[in-house]
């Protein structure tokens, strides 16, 4: 039977009116699936149901495991499809219209109805699946004809260049994230409106940069508007703004103040008490920053890098030179901590080796956690755990006021002892939990004030993160308890995770330390579910099955763990150990 372009439209029309959910996962081989959908998943499901073809899923071979993505649609269109202009595709029933994801622009996939104007697609939470008009005025990248599908050669031959609509670009009155950011008082008005919706657009500086773009995406997700990162009539209206955006007198004043030329702003440091070897200066060479203490000790903090998770970010990472230099602060070895933690010191060593090679001064500030530090890579965004637990215990040590004189432990409004920052208006509780809407629309509790204290801007390396990082490294150099506390915090959380796992994974018994170690590492990294662990323990080879969880994505880490486990078994150090 011939496979026709119209077939994919006929299949898709059976799902009109169903729900759109950004990031929904759809089993392509389930003909009875009734949602939720997102754009790429809907397009790939229709293609599989119509033609038995897995397309736009990154080369997946099993339909139930495929994870479609607009970027895969774009790549596979060029590799195995037949690329046509999007203007031409609009006149071909069943042709795919693809907007490739790019810096500042999420991707999208739709099918052309064939009349030069309408599409069938999963468009957004406010729209669901339906037939939509206006496709010729939307920004597409390419059109694609799927391999092995008959789109009607006579129809294609009849599409002369004179009959095709001209490409359209977004008018200047639209705002979106460009490589060279759009700037002006109108962007100030937009940023203030986003802030009024509880979304963080970054500095109110009149530049449509990555944080403003991320806030626009979050707002569109929250309101069910088409998620394209573009501020057009619909997004402006939902924000309560006129379109084109109008700038007020105050917006103009703020923008002019921001762009006014300023002189150099040197780094400043807390005063160094007599005899205390505090951080005295920070210098930059190329992309790398180094700190110098009052006694002249110099060490590398890290280098500038960029990263994209749920938004485009800039922060610090440690390259080869920084990693080598950081060894001066120490590397975790279980034998050095047996007197503190008993055999548990050996038990946790494989996981710490996989976390930055167990270096106590491991640092990154480039991802959504804002600030991550230590051999266990303790992240700053999680309430009550990880970095905040470590930092709170550090600040209880003698001489804490010399390392961080602006911080103190004091009761919060609930009487709990938490970390406070002394500000001009009084103490600020850095452990206050804030419900944050991330750029991908996910809401989660975060320590937003602690994150901002450690890393003021997620789109730039600033004085704050450099100084916090340098002081934490220096503390490791001056007081061995700073290292011991990292391990104490990590071990407490590992034990807590294992106790929880015993209630969720019936096959986990304390006498089998190797199985427990794999489960502890899976939970610490978050690379598997309790269901996957239960299935592994019920298999013929439980340890091998546990090892394979997340293997395709985290092979290097898992190989490191396996090698360290083999070493522990050979040494006999954990013979008879009970978890």
163, pLDDT greater than 70:
no
Q: Structure pTM?
A: 0.64
| 145, burial (CB in 10 Å: exposed 0-12, middle 13-18, buried 19+) | buried
pLDDT band at 331 (very low <50, low <70, confident <90, very high): very high
- Reading phi first (left if > 0) and then psi (alpha if -120 to 50, else beta), residue 330 is in left
Tens digit of pLDDT for each residue in 209-221? Answer: 878 888 888 888 7
pLDDT (0 to 100) of residue 578: 92
pLDDT (0 to 100) of residue 440: 61
Q: How many CB atoms lie within 10 A of CB 353?
A: 22
Strand partners, 292: 281, 298
pLDDT (0 to 100) of residue 35: 86
Domains with residue ranges and CATH for the chain: 5-163 (3.90.1720.10), 185-259 (1.10.101.10), 282-479 (no CATH), 505-571 (no CATH)
User: What percent of the chain is predicted at pLDDT more than 90?
Assistant: 61
DSSP element (H, E) containing 208? none
Tens digit of pLDDT for each residue in 180-192? Answer: 788 999 999 999 9
Q: Residue 35 in contact with residue 18, Cβ under 8 Å?
A: yes
Q: Is the peptide bond before 482 cis (omega within 30 degrees of 0)?
A: no
Nearest 5°: the CA angle 70, 73, 79 is 150
pLDDT (0 to 100) of residue 547: 94
pLDDT (0 to 100) of residue 59: 87
Segment 401-406 long-range contacts (CB within 8 Å, at least 24 positions apart): 402/273, 402/276, 402/278, 403/278, 403/471, 403/474, 403/475, 404/471, 405/270, 405/271, 406/270
Tens digit of pLDDT for each residue in 277-323? Answer: 999 999 999 999 999 999 999 999 999 998 877 677 889 999 999 99
Q: Is the peptide bond before 512 cis (omega within 30 degrees of 0)?
A: no
CA distances to 332, 350, 420, 520, 521 from 344, in Å: 13, 11, 33, 12, 14
Q: Residue 53 in contact with residue 114, Cβ under 8 Å?
A: no
pLDDT (0 to 100) of residue 264: 39
d(CA 86, CA 149): 18
Q: Residue 456 in contact with residue 464, Cβ under 8 Å?
A: yes
Q: Residue 316 in contact with residue 305, Cβ under 8 Å?
A: yes
d(CA 151, CA 411): 70
364, pLDDT greater than 70:
yes
DSSP element (H, E) containing 115? none
Which of 31-40, 440-449, 468-477 has the lowest average pLDDT?
A: 440-449
140, pLDDT greater than 70:
yes
User: What is the DSSP track for 335-394?
Assistant: GGGHHHHTTHHHHTHHHHHHTGGGBTT-EE-SSTTS-EETTTTEETTSTTSTHHHHHHHH
268, pLDDT greater than 80:
no
């Amino acid at each position: 039977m011939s496979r026709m372009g119209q077939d994919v439209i006929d299949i898709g029309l059976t799902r009109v009116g169903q729900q759109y959910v950004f990031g929904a996962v759809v089993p392509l081989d389930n003909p009875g699936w009734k949602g939720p959908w997102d754009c790429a998943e809907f397009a790939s499901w229709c293609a599989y149901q119509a033609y038995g073809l897995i397309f736009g899923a990154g080369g997946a071979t099993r339909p139930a495991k495929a994870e479609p993505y607009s970027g895969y649609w774009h790549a596979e269109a060029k590799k195995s499809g037949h690329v046509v202009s999007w203007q031409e595709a609009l006149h071909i029933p069943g042709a795919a219209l693809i907007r490739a994801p790019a810096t500042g622009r999420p991707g999208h996939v739709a099918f052309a109805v064939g009349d030069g104007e309408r599409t069938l697609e999963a468009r957004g939470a406010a729209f669901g699946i339906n037939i939509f008009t206006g496709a010729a005025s939307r920004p597409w990248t390419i059109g694609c004809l799927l391999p092995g599908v008959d789109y009607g050669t006579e129809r294609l031959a009849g599409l002369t260049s004179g009959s095709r609509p001209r490409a359209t670009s977004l008018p200047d009155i639209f705002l979106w994230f460009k490589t060279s950011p759009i700037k002006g008082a109108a962007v100030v008005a937009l940023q203030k409106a986003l802030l009024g919706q509880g979304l963080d657009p970054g500095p109110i500086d009149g530049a449509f940069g990555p944080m403003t773009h991320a806030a626009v995406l979050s707002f569109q997700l929250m309101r069910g508007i088409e998620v394209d990162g573009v501020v057009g009539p619909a997004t402006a209206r939902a924000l309560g703004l006129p379109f084109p955006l109008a700038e007020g007198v105050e917006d103009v004043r703020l923008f002019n103040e921001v762009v006014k030329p300023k002189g150099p702003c040197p780094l400043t440091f807390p005063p160094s008490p007599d005899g205390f070897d505090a951080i005295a200066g920070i210098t930059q060479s190329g992309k790398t920053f180094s700190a110098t203490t009052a006694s002249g000790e110099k060490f590398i903090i890290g280098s500038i890098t960029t990263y994209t998770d749920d938004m485009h970010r800039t922060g610090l990472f440690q390259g080869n030179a920084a990693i080598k230099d950081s060894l001066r602060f120490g590397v975790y070895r279980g034998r050095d901590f047996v007197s503190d933690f008993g055999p548990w010191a050996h038990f946790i060593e494989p996981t710490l080796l996989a976390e930055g090679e167990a270096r106590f001064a491991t640092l990154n500030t480039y991802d959504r956690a804002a600030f991550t530090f230590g051999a266990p890579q303790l992240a700053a965004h999680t309430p009550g755990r990880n970095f905040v637990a470590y930092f709170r215990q550090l600040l209880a040590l003698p001489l804490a006021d010399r390392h961080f004189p602006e911080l103190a432990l004091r009761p919060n409004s609930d009487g709990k002892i938490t970390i406070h920052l002394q500000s001009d208006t009084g103490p600020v509780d850095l452990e206050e939990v804030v419900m944050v809407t991330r750029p991908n629309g996910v809401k989660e509790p975060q320590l937003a004030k602690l994150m901002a204290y450690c890393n003021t801007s997620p789109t730039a390396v600033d004085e704050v993160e450099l100084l916090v990082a340098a002081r934490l490294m220096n503390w490791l150099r001056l007081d061995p308890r700073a290292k011991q506390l990292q391990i104490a915090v990590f071990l407490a959380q590992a034990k807590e995770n294992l106790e929880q796992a015993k209630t969720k994974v019936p096959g986990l018994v304390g006498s089998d330390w190797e199985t427990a170690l794999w489960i502890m590492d899976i939970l610490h990294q978050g690379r598997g579910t309790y269901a996957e662990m239960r299935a592994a323990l019920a298999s013929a080879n439980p340890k091998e099955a546990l090892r394979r969880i997340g293997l395709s994505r985290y092979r290097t880490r898992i190989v490191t763990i396996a090698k360290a486990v083999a070493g522990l078994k050979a040494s006999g150090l954990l013979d008879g150990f009970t978890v």
